[in-house]
Chains A and B, each alone.
Chain A
Amino acid sequence: DIQMTQSPSSLSASVGDRVTITCRASQSINSFLNWYQQKPGKAPKLLIYAASSLQSGVPSRFSGSGSGTDFTLTISSLQPEDFATYYCQQSYSTPFTFGQGTRLEIK
């Protein structure tokens, strides 16, 4: 199975900050990497697919990059509604494993 490791596990930041979350795969997954946002009590929401493609309706302050084993999710200027937990997921092969999540909190 492909292991996905996110860092950091938690992060405190302020409105307006630039934030980067990283995700590392245990083997190359090409660009088969997706990012989701989850707020408490809600279902996950797709943000970025295929490593760098922005899902329709998602603000342009979100961006993704990377290929192979190393990926990043960047939020260019944090807004109050961005405080949530973020998960990466590989779709290269089953089982479609997720990272452990990064909890983004208000400083």
Chain B
Amino acid sequence: EVQLVESGGGLVKPGGSLRLSCAASGFTFSSYSMNWVRQAPGKGLEWVSSISSSSSYIYYADSVKGRFTISRDNAKNSLYLQMNSLRAEDTAVYYCARKLGATTGWFDPWGQGTLVTVSS
């Protein structure tokens, strides 16, 4: 079964840091681009970052550029999101998602999400 499991969320003070992890299983992790998508409480979905299979191509939303760093360890079948200088507006459920499709691209599956709360 293809599965993604996020971890690492929690309560952090403004200006603090947090590292999210996403453990992949059931597929050849090293063959796929991966993404982070977040959802603030009661709000819609916001794409955060994308990393290609070999980490050659990395992209960020403007809202997190310079503060968040996406990375992966293909040997450990794991995806990461290092979040620094956190702000209240970063409070959200963070999902990791596999990207399928060589050209068009779509996200499937998604993990169950991990909640990040930024508050003093």
Contact = CB atoms under 8 A, between A and B. Distances in A.
Interface of A: 1, 31-32, 34, 36, 38, 42-46, 49-50, 55, 87, 89, 91, 94-101
Given A89-B106, A96-B105, 8 more contacts: A34-B106, A44-B95, A49-B100, A91-B106, A94-B50, A95-B59, A96-B35, A96-B50
A49 B37 CA distance: 17
Q: Most chain-A Cβ atoms within 10 A of its Cβ — which of B61, B62, B101, B104?
A: B104
Interface of B: 35, 37, 44-47, 50, 59, 61-62, 95, 100-101, 104-113
Contacts of A96: 35, 47, 50, 105
Contacts of B37: 44
